[in-house]
Amino acid sequence: MINRSIFFSAIIGTLTLGSSAAWAGGCYGAACYRHVVHPPVYGAVAEKVVLQPPQVFARTIPGDYASYAEKTLIAPPARSGR
């Protein structure tokens, strides 16, 4: 009984695969798998690309030094006691 159900399942599976879309479309055997060549499609595309990434440099900037002279008040004017 089990062998008979396995046999009928195998036959139904084979018939189901045999009536696939390939058979319905009219292709049989190797004709269903023939090589189809599509020509390449070319077009122009404009895009921005980075030619050189931004760079960070560590630079030492020396301090500015100068000497100058100025008048500085050391003591305020005083009156003499005479």
User: In angstroms, how far apart are the furthest CA atoms of the chain?
Assistant: 147
- Predicted pLDDT of residue 19: 52
Q: How far is CA 56 from CA 52, 53, 60, in A?
A: 12, 10, 13
Helices (H), the chain: 2-18, 21-25
Cα–Cα distance between 63 and 4 in angstroms, integer? 100
Q: What is the dihedral of CA 37, 43, 47, 50, to 10 degrees?
A: 60
- What global pTM score does this model have? 0.21
Domain definitions of the chain by residue range: 1-54
- Kindly report, residue by residue over 21-64, the tens digit of the pLDDT: 555 566 666 667 777 788 888 888 888 888 888 888 888 888 88
Per the model's pLDDT, the better-predicted residue between 34 and 16 turns out to be 34
